[in-house]
A and B are shown apart, each in its own frame.
Chain A
C-alpha cells in the first residue's frame, strides 16, 4: 500500500516550548492509524498540522500529496475532521448543518447520514439542545458527508453509550473497507487496540514507538500475565524462582506471574504442580495489552 500521509521531521513550538520535536512517520492508505500519547505529548499539534489549521515550524507534511497549509483549498475536499469539541454554532440544526457543509463541499445533501447516526428525530433541534453524544455523532456525519479520503477522529467515542460506540466502530470498519484512511486520536487504549492497523505513541513531542498493536505489545518488557490456581495452592506458598518471571504476586487464590518467557514459565509451573502432588484447577494467560505497554512507555518516559 502507498503512503497517504508522510510526516518528516515535523516540529512545532509555542514560544520556547517545543510541543513536537522532529517527528516522522507515515500512514498507509486505507489504514486505521491511532495516534496515542498522554496529555501534552503533541497529539493535537500533530493532528492540527495535518488538518491544515496549524503551521509547522520545521519539517514537512504531505497529506494525500498536498501541503496542508499552502494547498489547504485542495486538502479540504480530501479530508474530513471530527473535532473533539462541538465546533458548530449553537443555534444550527443538524439538517441545516448538513445542508450548509455539503453546499460548501459542493456535494449532495447526505440526510441519510443523519438517519444512520440516529439523529433523524433531532434533525430540527438546535445544536445546543443535543446531548454530547448526539453532538459528536453529528460532527462525525458532517465529517464524512463529502466522502473524504482521510478522516481525522479526535476522541470519537468520548461520551457515547455502548450501542453508539459499537455503531461508530462498525461505521469506521465500513469506511476502511471502502478505502478511507482513518487517523484516530484517542485515550481509549482498548479502542485503539481493537480498531487500529497501526499505532504511534507520542511522548513529550517525540515518537516513542510505532507499529501494529501486536508489534507494540510484543516489545518492551513484554511481560505476559500468567495466573495459576491449584487445589492445594502450593504455588502460592513456595518462593521458587521460575524462568523469565520478573514479578510474582497473589490475587485471591491465584498465583500471578509476570513472565517474558511464557513457554518456559508454564512448563516449569506444570512440572512443579505435578512434583508437589498438587492439581491444576485453572491457568490463564494474558498477553500485555496496548494499555499495559502504553503505561510502561509513559512511565519509562517519566510520565505518571
Chain B
C-alpha cells in the first residue's frame, strides 16, 4: 500500500512537472473549452446544450489518446521498466497507476468545465449527476484502456502519435461533439460507432443531460466499460519490459481485438 501511495503520488505530480503532460491534461482542453465556449454559441446557439459533454469528452481524448501513450513508450525505451523489473515493481502498477492518475486529472478538469460552463456561459448543467458520473467513468475507462494499449503496442513514440490520431481526429469529426450523430450519413454512422467518443456523447446526452439518445444509452455505457477493460487486459497481455529483450512473442496486432465491443455496437445498436 505504501508502495502504491508513493508511486501514485509521483505519477500524479509528473503530469504537472512534465510540460507536455501539463499541456495535454490541462492547458489544451481548458484552452479549447474556453475558445469554443466564447466563439461557438455566436455561430450555433444550440451548441451550449452540448458544451459540457462535448468538452468533457474532448478533455478525456486529449489527456488519454494524446497524453498517455507517449510516456509509456519513452519509459520502456529509456530502460526505466528494466529498473522497475529489477526492483520488483509489477507490470500492473506500471500500467494502472498512470491510468488512475490520468483519471484524477480528468476529474479535476471535468469539475472545472462543469462549474465554469454553468456559471460563466449559461450552459445547461447535467440533470442527472449519477448518469453524468457513470458516463464520465465509462468514457474515461474506454479511452484510458485504448491509450494504455497504444502505449504498449507502439514500438516508438512516433507510432503512438499515428495510432492516437487515428482515434482522436475521427472522434472530433464524427463523435457527436461538433456534429450530431443523427446528421451523419449512414457510412459515417458506422465509422462513428467504432469510436468511444460516439458512445460517450450518446450516453452523456441521454443519462446526464436529459436529452434523447440516438441509440440505447445503457448498452453504450456497457460498450465503453467493456471496451476499456478489454483494452487494458490486452495491454497487460502484450506488455514488454524491454523492446530489445522480449519476454514473449505475442504480436502487437492482437491489440486490434480491443475494437470487438465497438464492432458489436455497430450490429447491436
Contact = CB atoms under 8 A, between A and B. Distances in A.
Q: Please classify the interface of chain A as helix (H, G, I), strand (E, B), loop, or mixed, using the class held by over half of its residues.
A: loop
Interface string A21-54: 0000000000000000000000000001001111
A176 B82 CA distance: 26
Q: Chain B CB within 10 Å — which of A79, A90, A104, A126 has the most? A: A104
Given A91-B14, A100-B7, A104-B3, A86 B78 contact: yes
B88 interface: yes
Interface string A140-160: 001000000000000000000
A92 interface: yes
B80 A76 contact: no
B3 A103 contact: yes
A85 B86 contact: no
A101 B87 contact: yes
A92 B10 contact: yes
Nearest to B13: A91
Nearest to B242: A53
B79 A83 contact: yes
Contacts of A142: 87
Contacts of B254: none
A247 interface: no
Interface string B172-208: 0000000000000000000000000000000000000
Contacts of B256: none
Interface in A108-147: 126, 142
A100 B6 contact: yes
Interface residues of B, number: 26
A126 B17 CA distance: 9
A15 interface: no
A219 interface: no
Contact of A48 (B17, B89, B245): B245
A87 interface: yes
Contacts of B242: 53
Contacts of A96: 6, 9-10, 13
Nearest to B2: A103
Given A53-B82, A54-B245, A89 B88 contact: no
B132 interface: no
Contacts of A85: 78-79
Given A96-B6, A100-B6, A103-B6, A88 B87 contact: no
A105 interface: yes
B90 to A, nearest CB: 9
Contacts of A249: none
Given A53-B242, A88-B80, A89-B80, 11 more contacts: A51-B86, A76-B87, A83-B86, A87-B82, A88-B83, A89-B10, A89-B14, A92-B10, A96-B6, A100-B7, A103-B5
Interface of A: 48, 51-55, 72-73, 76-77, 79, 81, 83, 85-92, 96, 99-101, 103-106, 126, 142
